[in-house]
A and B are shown apart, each in its own frame.
Chain A
Amino acid sequence: MTATIEPIQTFARAIRAHALRMVAAAHASHIGSCLSIADILAVLYGSILNVDPSRPRWEGRDRLIVSKGHAAAIVYAALAERGFFPISLLDSYCREGSPLAGHVTHVHVPGVEVSTGSLGHGLSIGCGMALAAKRTGQSYAVHVLLSDGECDEGSIWEAALFAPHHRLDNLVVTVDYNGIQSFGSVKEVLDLDPFIDKWRAFGWQACEIDGHDVTALLEAYRQRPDGKPRVIIARTIKGKGVSFMENQLAWHYKSPKAEELAQALAEVAESVRGAA
């Protein structure tokens, strides 16, 4: 198992570091949201998704829709690490003339399935892709990555009703449940709990795991379909991997200054030795 896990952890560290540099250089926001999903993306791109960077639009590929489009920096980092485009392109993030916009954008960016940024759109698109696959006899999986705050949107629950009704067991949702949204904790702003019960009541096969535990993520994604769409509620830490960013709402907005970036990168690198 260690043999599988180590490259994924290396991938996660790499994309955390890329995202930190990108956000710092662009004076951009949402680094906390990026770090929150680093391990999820590393597992998906490092092991789970059947994709081919040399043929980004290959018909049989698994689809990943990152519905929380504000985590764009780390999504681009994951695509670059997976080989969809050169890592050097990441330096242009949010710069004039770059294809890498501050919210996930598909135009001129190989590997991005759909553009997102307005919350609550991705799950419906995923339902359409999953339904099309079912009805045309194709075997690819459709993954949708949601944020917890995004689940305030009514459209999420329209799609949540639809997927089990149509037995879309080729659809896998991961919710990045870091418990913090724009103005404060999910509990304070608009409580989602009992969250897993809501999904189950809607007809989903649901599990809740530590969203930074690579082994647990792998196990969850490797569950076999059994007629129901699946939701993985990934308990995560906003800003995970950088001590002074963890669970801090401010890092939804702030961009690290030079010293902060240096410390953050050191902590991310340090976690290599920590994990080893």
Chain B
Amino acid sequence: MRDAFIRGLVAAAEKHPNLWLLCGDLGYSVLDDFKARFPERYVNVGVAEQNMAGIAAGIALSGGMVFCYSIGNFPTLRCIEQIRNDICYHGANVKIVAVGGGLAYGQQGYTHHAIEDLAVMASLPGMKVAAPGDPLEVEQILQTFLEDDGPCYLRLGKAGEPRIHAKPPRILKGHPVPVVAGKDALLLSTGGMLATARQAIDLLRDRGIMAGLASMPFLKPVDNPALLHVIGDIPLLCTLEEHGPYGGLRDAVARILIGETRLRPQLLPFHIREHSIKGMVGTQDQLRAAAGLDAATIAAAIENNLRHSHAAEHA
């Protein structure tokens, strides 16, 4: 995802002479191409995220479109008030990009787990929030950000994530992206959980359960009719997110469903429960598994839920 983003950003900088890239002394070697080609629009501000956010606002208020690039929680939580006051309140054209969203920096420990970012960023007025599911989604979302003249947040994984979509999907702001159709359940996945979700529906199919899959790259805005259309009359709706339980995909979906009188699927959420991986060391996959976010656990929980519902109906 990271590489798809950088490629797209360099191409965008060719087209947009006001596009700047700021980094907080992170992104070693991956930003070299941008820096070499657009030195006048590149700044490594140093290890100073509050300053980076304020500088970004200042450049944006002077006509720039500014991308702020760093990892994990640094470009978001560390400077949240600068983002709220200096960027969002002024409607500044600043795009905040965090690499290593979720548990991508698993072994690096708690400080590097970015699992509250979506909630925090989505709470800010005017901020658009996206977490693409594969490299093809990154390219498309970057385009929607370039067309937006206000603040946006992009949560990326790291590098080397598989492509899930067969061909580049057309992504409209706030719309879910259907991947696989299915009648028994629908998995809605945001961010890097898309590959795991894909594995889970394959496991379910082997057990005779036809589960569908849609990616939800946008946490904010969410296009309600588009989402409800994808949900249709599915009996079981599962949300998958590499994020804490509050303010993420589960809550975004629940907020929409609670206003719906026609559609009321059962909601089965998969997320990282508070402190569920506290003190554990492991790779991204190992920590996801510890949090119950691996394909086998997800598939088993869905199967179990459907069998119980079925049994209840026939009791």
Which residues of A are interface residues toward B (Cβ below 8 A)? 59, 106, 113-118, 120-121, 123-133, 135-136, 154-155, 158-159, 161-162, 166
Interface flag for B313 (CB, 8 Å): no
Is the beta-carbon distance between B63 and A124 smaller than 8 angstroms?
A: no
Interface flag for B59 (CB, 8 Å): yes
Interface flag for B51 (CB, 8 Å): yes
Q: A158-B51, A162-B55 are in contact. Are A121 and B86 (CB under 8 A)?
A: yes
Is the beta-carbon distance between B58 and A129 smaller than 8 angstroms?
A: yes
Interface flag for B231 (CB, 8 Å): no
The residue in chain A whose Cβ has the minimal distance to the Cβ of B84 is: A118
- Return chain B residues, CB-CB under 8 Å to A129: 58-59, 61-62
Give 20 new A-B contacts, CB below 8 A, not counting A128-B54, A155-B54, A158-B51. A59-B63, A114-B57, A114-B90, A115-B90, A120-B50, A121-B81, A121-B82, A121-B85, A124-B53, A124-B82, A125-B58, A127-B58, A128-B56, A128-B58, A132-B64, A158-B46, A159-B51, A159-B54, A159-B55, A162-B51
- Return chain B residues, CB-CB under 8 Å to A161: 46, 48
Is the beta-carbon distance between A131 and B90 smaller than 8 angstroms?
A: no
Q: A114-B86, A115-B89, A162-B45 are in contact. Are A131 and B51 (CB under 8 A)?
A: no
The residue in chain A whose Cβ has the minimal distance to the Cβ of B66 is: A128
CB distance from A185 to the nearest CB of B (A): 27
Interface flag for B40 (CB, 8 Å): yes
State in angstroms the CA–CA spacing of A159 and B46 once bound together: 10
- Return chain B residues, CB-CB under 8 Å to A132: 58-59, 62-64
Interface flag for B112 (CB, 8 Å): no
Q: Which of A118, A120, A125, A159 has the most chain B CB atoms inside 10 A of its CB?
A: A125
Interface flag for B43 (CB, 8 Å): yes
- 1-57 of chain B: CB within 8 A of chain A: 40-41, 43, 45-46, 48, 50-51, 53-57
Which residues of B are interface residues toward A (Cβ below 8 A)? 40-41, 43, 45-46, 48, 50-51, 53-64, 81-82, 85-86, 89-90
- Return chain B residues, CB-CB under 8 Å to A116: 85
Is the beta-carbon distance between B58 and A162 smaller than 8 angstroms?
A: no
A162 interface neighbour in B41, B48, B81, Cβ under 8 Å: B48
CB distance from B197 to the nearest CB of A (A): 40
B61 interface neighbour in A121, A125, A155, A159, Cβ under 8 Å: A125
State in angstroms the CA–CA spacing of A154 and B51 once bound together: 10
Is the beta-carbon distance between B55 and A124 smaller than 8 angstroms?
A: yes
CB distance from B131 to the nearest CB of A (A): 27
- Return chain A residues, CB-CB under 8 Å to B46: 158, 161-162
CB distance from B174 to the nearest CB of A (A): 26
Q: A125-B57, A158-B51, A159-B51 are in contact. Are A133 and B62 (CB under 8 A)?
A: yes
Is the beta-carbon distance between B51 and A127 smaller than 8 angstroms?
A: yes
A135 interface neighbour in B41, B60, B82, Cβ under 8 Å: B41
State in angstroms the CA–CA spacing of A130 and B85 once bound together: 19
- Return chain B residues, CB-CB under 8 Å to A135: 40-41
- Return chain A residues, CB-CB under 8 Å to B85: 115-118, 121
List, sorted by A's number, 5 A–B pairs whose CB atoms are closer than 8 Å: A113-B61, A115-B85, A115-B90, A121-B86, A162-B48
State in angstroms the CA–CA spacing of A166 and B39 once bound together: 13
The residue in chain B whose Cβ has the minimal distance to the Cβ of A117 is: B85
Is the beta-carbon distance between A131 and B55 smaller than 8 angstroms?
A: yes
State in angstroms the CA–CA spacing of A257 and B304 once bound together: 72
Is the beta-carbon distance between A125 and B89 smaller than 8 angstroms?
A: no
State in angstroms the CA–CA spacing of A162 and B50 once bound together: 12
